[in-house]
Structure 1
Amino acid sequence: MTVKVYERILQLFEAEGIDTIFGIPDPNFVHMFHLAEERGWKVVAPHHEESAGFMAEAVSRMTGKAAVCVGTLGPGMANLAGAIMCAKVENSPVVFLGGQRARITEQRVRRGRIQFVQQAGLFENSVKYSASIEYADQTDEIVREGLRRALSGTPGPVYIEYPSHVIQEELDVPPPLPPERYRLVGQTAGADAVAEAVRLIGAAEQPILLVGHGVHTARAAEPVKALADAMACPVVQTSGGTSYIRGLEDRTFPYGFSPSAVDAVVKSDLCLAIGTELGEPVHYGRGRHWLGNEANRKWILVEQDAAAIGVNRPIDVPLVGDLRAIVPQLVDALKDAPRKPSKELEGWIADDAARLAELAETAPTGMSPVHPARLVVEATKVFPADGIMVRDGGATTIFQWTYSQAKPHDVMWNQNFGHLGTGLPYAVGASVADGGNRPVMLVTGDSSFLFQIAELETAARLNLPLVCVVAVDYAWGLEVGVYKRTFGQGSSETGVHWSTDTRLDKVAEGFGCHGEYVERDEDIAPAVKRAFAAGRPAVVHVAVDPKANSEEMPSYAEFRTWYAEGMQ
């Protein structure tokens, strides 16, 4: 077939099941955007390229596939830099396409060139692969290499650039190859390693499953549920893996924030870790809560990157490959050797349920402005059971770790990199990936929300079922707390406060969204329900107490242990 380069790029992505593209089109991309829409793609143009990158990352997390985002040459790619770095740290396989002027522009010995900078070198350290389609007939090999690198080993972003003189050239090419013809797909573990893992599982008295972010971004909930059932054990969430697997909600406990999780970890004699790098938020699997029974605990790690084995802690049985292939191997090998439930599992389940109920009962009430703990309780109590939860913010997210009453099956937040302002773009991208079918709730702080607030118009234009619950204290709440702890009460708090006249519900209405303003506890849940019933994106502005937001963050001491370098 004879096709233009831009059409071939779309074909190569379609072979990987990709059907969504984000970005702000420029002359390099208008042909691609136009053709993508004709071919039935979802084409989303937000108001800022960084938002486009976050939206693409959200699509990747929701689909388990690579995602695509484009940036115009020069300033567009500069705007994408933050999203590229996030995708790298969050292990998200996003293909970033960058426009560029014709190569002759780069080779000229000239000054004062407009909208031009040598881009590839700027991104090399933030991506797994950086390349340029210099000649039209390189299109297949470079795009495939980008997808191969993005999806192999530890997933991550890649950057592919094409100069303007290449995009319109024609190619005479065969139909695109399916993924399994040019990259490794569904890598399984060796039979000997699987057998040894099964032996350790059978010998264990108190096994646990440690489930991380990768389980959910790989869309592997169903086989992991079968594995948890076969092991008859508790599930401990990492701070990045806070989605609940359907059917395991009652025996899934957040590491460090649930006493049941801590007790299960301390008493465990086997940890099977899936979809996690065993990083600082779980104390590398060898510090803090893991110390007490370290000598008696065996470790099985399912890991796609062989080079990661044994880096953060010794591993007894490494299972190297795609967790989507390895977990079914384990389930099949365990089917003839059913285990009895861990002897303390029922007690942990009861204790964790009691903990959540007590938190809902004891979160401070009757305050105006609202206590942030009560905001989280009231908002998450009415979270739709089939909804998608998105988190953003500093103090607001810390309150959510402890007080959330919801157990959503899809949770999205920027855990590893801690980049604020991802919440609204993540919510838009997740809803686009979902086809706008399920309700989406974003719980965020006001400072974080303001980063990308223009994307309310994008949500309104796409008519997404999105409700943004915003804790408003007119400050950088977590940073105010840092000032107080560093310099004492009453000290100057430079640069962390802003106008108390801003009404985010009114801003939302200006974008064509539904707005709600709340100052009392009892009005939160009704406002959230009205927002979901409004039939368009909505913002619920909740005035929260700034003193409580900066001084009473729960489990803050536990959070600080993540940074205890030299103590882990």
Structure 2
Amino acid sequence: MSVKVYERILDLFEAEGIDTIFGIPDPNFVHLFHTAEERGWNVVAPHHEETAGFMAEAVSRMTGKAAVCIGTLGPGIANMAGAVMCAKVENSPVIFLGGQRARITEQRVRRGRIQFVQQSGLIEPSVKYSASIEYADQTDEIIREGLRRALSGTPGPVYIEYPSHVIQEELDVPPVLPPSRYRLVGQTAGQEQIEEAVRLIGAAKQPILLVGHGVHTARAGASVKELADLMACPVIQTSGGTSFIEGLEDRTFPYGFSTAAVEAVVTSDLCLAIGTELGEPVHFGKGRHWLEGEANRSWLLIEQDPAAIGVNRPIDVPLVGDLRAVVPQLVEALKGSPRTPTPELKRWISEDAAQLAELAETAPSGSSPVHPARLIVEATKDFPADGIMVRDGGATTIFGWTYSQAKPHDVMWNQNFGHLGTGLPYAVGAGVADGGKRPMMLITGDSSFQFHISELETAARLNLPLVCVVAVDYAWGLEVGVYKRTYGQGSLETGVHWSESTRLDKVAEGFGCYGEYVDRDEDIAPAIKRAYASGRPGVIHVAVDPKANSEEMPSYDEFRTWYAEGQQ
């Protein structure tokens, strides 16, 4: 069949189940955007190419598939660069498409060319694959190679550009191939390794499941639930794996921040790690809480990239393959011999629930401005498990992971890279992927919220059921705390405070959203309820106590152990 290059690109993406595209249309891409919309794709034009990348990353996390973002030549690609780096560190398979001037322009020896820079070389260090469609008949091989690289091994971003003279060329091509015809799909682990894993699990007295970010992004919660039930053991969340798996909410404990989690880790004699790189936030699986009992603890790791096995710590049984295929293998092999529940499991469940209730009870209340711990309790106490929770900010996120009373099945934040400003675009992307069906809440600090506040218009245009709860201390709260710990109280805090005249609720109203100002504990939950009832995206400006925000961050000493240079 005869098609244009841009039509063929869409065909190839559709074969992978991709139906959403983010970017700002320019002459290189208007034909692709127009055709995608005619085909029924979600075509979203945000206000900045960086947020387009973040939105695409959120779609990938919500669907378990690759996602697509487009940047116009020159400044568009420059704007997109932060999202490219973020996708690399967050292990997100985003296909970044870039336009470029015609090659005759690039190859000439000229100065002062308009909107031009050699882009591939700048982006190449931040992606798994970088290529250019130089000739129309390369379209299939390069797009497929991009998808292959993005989704194989440790997932990650790729960059593909095409010069303007290529996009509208004609191709005579056969029907597109399904993914299984050109890349490895559903890789399972070897039978010998599965049998050894089953033997060790059966012999273990105190096994634990260590569940990471990859379980959420692979959308593998249901099969992990089956595995957890057969192992009858606690589930320990990494800091990136904070989405709660349906049916496991009561026995899922956050690593390092729950006394039940610490005891379960310390006393464990087997750890099955799924969807995690065993990075700094879990002390590489060998420091801090893992030290006690190390000699008697077996390690099983499900990992798609064979080159990752044994890098951060020795692994007794590596299960190399796609966790979406390997976990069902283990489930099938364990069905005939389910474990007796770990004796301490009931006590840990009770203690963890009591700890959470105590945090809600003891979070400081009655002050105006609001204590940030109380903000988290009040904002999350009624949030439904089927909602989508998004986090952003420094101090606000630290308060959030300690005091949150909600256990949603979808929690999204930028844990690995620590990139501020991702919250609002993540929420928009998640809402697009979800079709605007479920309630969403973004809990963020004021400084991070203002990175990409213009995307409130995008949320309003798409009519997303999103409420943004913004902790406002008119400062970079985490950095104020650093100044105080470094130089003492009353020190000169350079560059971390900003104008107290800004009203984010009024800004929201200007974008066509619902806005409300709150400075008392008891008004937070009702304001959130009114925002949802308004039928528009909402922003609740919550004035928080700046002193408490910078000085009373919970579990901060535990958080600092993630940065124990040379000690892990």
Give TM class, smaller chain: over 0.9
Q: How does 1:56-455 map to 2 (within 5 A)?
A: 56-455=56-455
Match of 1:42 in 2: 42
CA distance in 1, matches of 2:140, 2:222: 34
CA distance in 2, matches of 1:459, 1:322: 34
CA distance in 2, matches of 1:74, 1:213: 33
CA distance in 2, matches of 1:386, 1:408: 6
Q: What amino acid sits opposite 1:397 in the alignment?
A: T
3-state SS in 1 of match to 2:498: coil
Q: What amino acid sits opposite 1:55 in the alignment?
A: M
**C-alpha distance after superposition, 1:184-237 (max 9, x if no partner):** 000000000000000000000000000000000000000000000000000000
CA deviation after TM superposition for structure 1 residue 565, in Å: 1.6
CA deviation after TM superposition for structure 1 residue 305, in Å: 0.3
CA distance in 2, matches of 1:480, 1:565: 23
CA distance in 2, matches of 1:265, 1:54: 34
CA deviation after TM superposition for structure 1 residue 83, in Å: 0.1
Q: What amino acid sits opposite 2:556 in the alignment?
A: Y
Instruction: Show structure 1 runs of 4+ deviating over 2 A.
Output: none
CA deviation after TM superposition for structure 1 residue 533, in Å: 1.1
CA distance in 1, matches of 2:220, 2:150: 18
CA deviation after TM superposition for structure 1 residue 165, in Å: 0.3
CA distance in 1, matches of 2:78, 2:338: 54
**C-alpha distance after superposition, 1:56-92 (max 9, x if no partner):** 0000000000000000000000000000000000000
CA distance in 2, matches of 1:268, 1:173: 56
3-state SS in 1 of match to 2:86: helix
CA distance in 2, matches of 1:561, 1:472: 27
User: Contact 1:382/1:528 (CA < 8 Å) preserved in 2?
Assistant: no
Alignment length (residue pairs): 568
CA distance in 2, matches of 1:462, 1:531: 16
Across the aligned residues of Structure 1 and Structure 2, the Cα RMSD in angstroms comes to: 0.4
3-state SS in 2 of match to 1:35: helix
CA distance in 1, matches of 2:256, 2:231: 22
CA deviation after TM superposition for structure 1 residue 24, in Å: 0.2
CA deviation after TM superposition for structure 1 residue 270, in Å: 0.2
User: Contact 1:382/1:529 (CA < 8 Å) preserved in 2?
Assistant: no
CA distance in 2, matches of 1:410, 1:37: 28
Q: What amino acid sits opposite 1:557 in the alignment?
A: D
User: Contact 1:5/1:167 (CA < 8 Å) preserved in 2?
Assistant: yes
User: Contact 1:395/1:549 (CA < 8 Å) preserved in 2?
Assistant: yes
CA distance in 2, matches of 1:155, 1:389: 23
CA distance in 2, matches of 1:386, 1:204: 34
Q: What amino acid sits opposite 1:76 in the alignment?
A: G
3-state SS in 2 of match to 1:13: helix
Match of 1:551 in 2: 551
CA distance in 2, matches of 1:159, 1:505: 38
3-state SS in 2 of match to 1:188: coil
User: Contact 1:2/1:173 (CA < 8 Å) preserved in 2?
Assistant: yes
CA deviation after TM superposition for structure 1 residue 534, in Å: 1.0
CA distance in 2, matches of 1:284, 1:183: 31
CA deviation after TM superposition for structure 1 residue 516, in Å: 1.0
**C-alpha distance after superposition, 1:162-195 (max 9, x if no partner):** 0000001000001110000000000000000000
Identity of aligned residues (%): 86
CA distance in 1, matches of 2:426, 2:465: 13
CA deviation after TM superposition for structure 1 residue 386, in Å: 1.5
CA deviation after TM superposition for structure 1 residue 382, in Å: 2.0
Match of 1:473 in 2: 473
3-state SS in 1 of match to 2:346: helix
User: Contact 1:150/1:156 (CA < 8 Å) preserved in 2?
Assistant: yes
CA deviation after TM superposition for structure 1 residue 21, in Å: 0.0
Q: What amino acid sits opposite 1:246 in the alignment?
A: E
User: Contact 1:224/1:327 (CA < 8 Å) preserved in 2?
Assistant: yes
CA distance in 2, matches of 1:14, 1:566: 46
CA distance in 1, matches of 2:290, 2:232: 21
Q: What amino acid sits opposite 2:285 in the alignment?
A: G
CA distance in 2, matches of 1:290, 1:460: 47
TM-score by length of 1: 1.00
CA deviation after TM superposition for structure 1 residue 385, in Å: 2.8
CA distance in 1, matches of 2:338, 2:241: 26
Match of 2:522 in 1: 522
CA distance in 2, matches of 1:273, 1:91: 17
Q: What amino acid sits opposite 1:372 in the alignment?
A: P
CA deviation after TM superposition for structure 1 residue 338, in Å: 1.3
**C-alpha distance after superposition, 1:266-299 (max 9, x if no partner):** 0000000000000000000000000000000000
Match of 1:54 in 2: 54
Unpaired runs of 5+ residues, structure 2, are none
CA distance in 1, matches of 2:494, 2:226: 52
Match of 1:19 in 2: 19
3-state SS in 2 of match to 1:177: coil
CA distance in 2, matches of 1:180, 1:7: 22
3-state SS in 1 of match to 2:354: helix
3-state SS in 1 of match to 2:319: strand
**C-alpha distance after superposition, 1:501-522 (max 9, x if no partner):** 0000000000000001100000
